[in-house]
Amino acid sequence: MAAVGSGGSTAAAGPGAVSAGALEPGTASAAHRRLKYISLAVLVVQNASLILSIRYARTLPGDRFFATTAVVMAEVLKGFTCLLLLFAQKRGNVKHLALFLHEAVLVQYVDTLKLAVPSLIYTLQNNLQYVAISNLPAATFQVTYQLKILTTALFSVLMLNRSLSRLQWASLLLLFTGVAIVQAQQAGGGGPRPLDQNPGAGLAAVVASCLSSGFAGVYFEKILKGSSGSVWLRNLQLGLFGTALGLVGLWWAEGTAVARRGFFFGYTPAVWGVVLNQAFGGLLVAVVVKYADNILKGFATSLSIVLSTVASIRLFGFHVDPLFALGAGLVIGAVYLYSLPRGAAKAIASTSASTSTSGPCTHQQPPGQPPPPKLSSHRGDLSTEPFLPKLLTKVKGS
């Protein structure tokens, strides 16, 4: 009997048996390429559509919904979805699911309580995103929000003692310069601006959101390093805290208005689209992101900036001037450079060094010696997740 495990290994069968992995290697590589392209499309669409949908829902004429209720609803739907996924993992056995949750959430309460801090920060971040997108054009927000790459990198260096390559430091400087140029264009009054928008408040909100995103992502990695537990369990635990903390924030910020007008006041199909995008978009990305390497993620971020800009021109009458184009171009280039694996960064540095010498230098492998080991392109830290820093362990609306 041939047994196939999760890793795809098979036990020996009859003489005519052929393992599935040895059937057609070209078919497997083609399928993997297809999955990478699908991953790219999902990352781009989710990255851009969330921001555009929030901007659209917040600028529609008529009654404006309460952002705090949308944050709470997204947490409820996300937690319920993760509960259903865990239920499916237990093959529909309610007793096994109850025992599992009792052990993971209540018995191991210390691990559960550790998630309260990042959950609080993520809830704050989601509310700040609504404030920022309500006061900034979608394209400007998309570009400025890439500052979370900088904050995540700095917190990784300070809290996890990580080291960054020279190319990464240069890309962070390039990123900051590009964002500064875009904000200078915004302060200079690029294009028409609605009277109820405050660019200063929007900038403060997006900077605070980037700081909270960077800190929470690195803190979450630090406290959960080496711990067991599926991504769905962690999201369920975070969803429980997120719902409770979101309700506290709702009561503190808009409790009187919500009590008078109702929890679902101002909800339209567009608002429900935002809530569903926040709740399920990130979970969908969590499924496909394992097929995307760092370069693909950086490419997806760059494409989402371009897509948001083009959509903003058509939907919101956004005006692209040379200053914005320069700043956005610098940010796109910085995202790509930062996403390069260390091996590629060293290759770029060595190429630059070799071209500065008096003549060409070729390195040949001496005969009889094995080739040097290849550098890995995987760095395995949250600083390499520039636009979804909490994606693999915690999925929130970005």
The two structure tokens encoding residue 165:
């390559």
Residues across the chain: 398
Q: Give the pLDDT score at 44.
A: 85
Range of the domain at 65: 36-187+199-344
Q: Which of 34-48, 259-273, 314-328 has the highest mean predicted lDDT (pLDDT)?
A: 259-273
Q: Give the pLDDT score at 317.
A: 85
Specify the residue for token string 């200063």.
200
Question: How many CB atoms lie under 10 A from the CB of residue 320?
Answer: 16
Gyration radius of the chain's alpha carbons: 24
Predicted confidence (pLDDT) per residue in 111-161, tens digit: 888 888 888 998 998 999 999 998 888 889 989 998 988 998 899 899 888
The two structure tokens encoding residue 214:
């960077």
Q: Give the pLDDT score at 264.
A: 94
Quick check: is 132 in a domain?
A: yes
Averaged pLDDT, 371-386: 42
Averaged pLDDT, 230-255: 89
Please measure the distance between the N-terminal and C-terminal CA atoms of the chain and give it in whole angstroms: 48
Predicted confidence (pLDDT) per residue in 333-371, tens digit: 998 888 887 665 555 555 544 544 444 444 444 455 555
pLDDT at 322 over 70: yes
Cα–Cα nearest to 136, from 386, 334, 316:
316
Averaged pLDDT, 384-395: 39
Between 12 and 370, the more confident residue is 370
Cα–Cα nearest to 131, from 81, 204, 215:
204
Residues 105/304, Cβ–Cβ less than 8 Å: no
Quick check: is 329 in a domain?
A: yes
pLDDT at 284 over 80: no
Cα–Cα nearest to 343, from 311, 303, 374, 389:
374
Quick check: is 383 in a domain?
A: no
Quick check: is 353 in a domain?
A: no
Question: How many CB atoms lie under 10 A from the CB of residue 82?
Answer: 23
Q: What is the mean pLDDT of the chain?
A: 77
Q: What's the pLDDT band for 37 if we cut at 50, 70, 90?
A: confident
Averaged pLDDT, 208-226: 82
Q: Give the pLDDT score at 375.
A: 42
Q: What's the pLDDT band for 189 if we cut at 50, 70, 90?
A: low
Between 100 and 369, the more confident residue is 100
Averaged pLDDT, 205-213: 92
Q: How far, in Å, CA of 382 to CA of 392, rounded?
A: 9
Averaged pLDDT, 374-383: 40
Q: What's the pLDDT band for 83 if we cut at 50, 70, 90?
A: very high
Q: Which of 16-25, 196-205, 342-351 has the highest mean predicted lDDT (pLDDT)?
A: 196-205
In one-letter notation, the amino acid at residue 358 is S
Q: Which of 191-195, 201-205, 214-218, 337-341 has the highest mean predicted lDDT (pLDDT)?
A: 201-205
Q: What's the pLDDT band for 390 if we cut at 50, 70, 90?
A: very low
Quick check: is 171 in a domain?
A: yes
Between 223 and 338, the more confident residue is 338
Q: How far, in Å, CA of 144 to CA of 203, rounded?
A: 8
Quick check: is 373 in a domain?
A: no
Quick check: is 366 in a domain?
A: no
pLDDT at 309 over 70: yes
Quick check: is 192 in a domain?
A: no
Q: Say how many domains are in the chain.
A: 1
Q: Give the pLDDT score at 68.
A: 94
| Partners of residue 10 on adjacent β-strands | 4
Averaged pLDDT, 184-199: 68
